[in-house]
Amino acid sequence: MRRRRTGSETEPPGAEASVEIAARFLGTRPRSRWEVERRLRRAGASDQIIEGTLDHLAGLGLVDDLAFARWWVEQRDRHAPRGRRLVEAELREHGVGRDVIEMLRDDLAALETRAHDSSGAPGAERGEDVELPISEAERARIALVQHLRGRPLPGDRRALQRLGMFLIRRGFDPDTARSTLRAAEDADPDAGD
């Protein structure tokens, strides 16, 4: 078992050690450039070593903010659907720049348009076995279904308002939350009793 160094024994990592630290950090999941930079700063690497390491990893395709942002959105869609606003806020928290978020927004809008135009079925252009929700309304519907966990939609107005606030906290705009709840009420014949 490796012994942890105390503060007096540590020395700043060199280029090879920085690449190793970053590779271990990237081994668990994709990371943004900012996250890797922050990890290397915590390890005590110099600015020159950090820049060299980040450039090397970017050249290998291991550090790419756009790829990270696409991965993040896909994970959100698969496991915990969120609204566009909240996903963008999360990406900013991970150090993804506005320019990358704008490119991602354009990519997602083009993907949504292509998928709906080609077959009418969202996700048909992705070529994946598992279709991911594309539109904001689909993500809101899935978030509501997951939240309800098979329970029927409540009939009283206050409970519906709480569900609407739940969707808004998840990053969906108020119009999307309202339309999702209306669609769920229309689909559930027992709602409103």
Work out how many domains the chain is built from and give that number.
3
Query: Are the beta carbons of 77 and 87 closer than 8 angstroms?
Result: no
Q: Is residue 183 part of a domain?
A: yes
Instruction: Give me the mean pLDDT over the 22-35 stretch.
Output: 94
122 pLDDT more than 50: no
Q: Is residue 48 part of a domain?
A: yes
- What 44-49 contacts at long range (C-beta under 8 Å, 24+ apart), as own/partner pairs, is 44/10, 44/11, 44/12, 44/13, 45/12, 45/13, 45/18, 45/21, 46/12, 49/12, 49/13, 49/14, 49/15, 49/18
Q: Which domain holds residue 36?
A: 15-63
48-100 pLDDT per residue, tens: 999 999 999 999 999 999 999 999 988 888 888 888 888 899 999 999 999 99
- Range with the lowest mean pLDDT among 31-35, 81-85, 110-114? 110-114
172 pLDDT more than 50: yes
Q: Domain check: are 87 and 41 in the same one?
A: no
CA distance 178 to 164: 7
The pLDDT, as a whole number, for residue 120 is: 45
Helices then strands (H, E): number in the chain?
A: 9, 0
142 pLDDT more than 60: yes
Q: Is residue 1 part of a domain?
A: no
- What 163-170 contacts at long range (C-beta under 8 Å, 24+ apart), as own/partner pairs, is 167/83, 167/140, 167/143, 170/81, 170/82, 170/83, 170/86, 170/140, 170/143
Q: Domain check: are 141 and 180 in the same one?
A: yes
Q: Which residue has the higher pLDDT, 134 or 169?
A: 169
13 pLDDT more than 60: yes
CA distance 120 to 71: 24
Q: Which residue has the higher pLDDT, 192 or 154?
A: 154
Query: Are the beta carbons of 136 and 84 closer than 8 angstroms?
Result: yes
Q: Is residue 7 part of a domain?
A: no
CA distance 112 to 3: 52
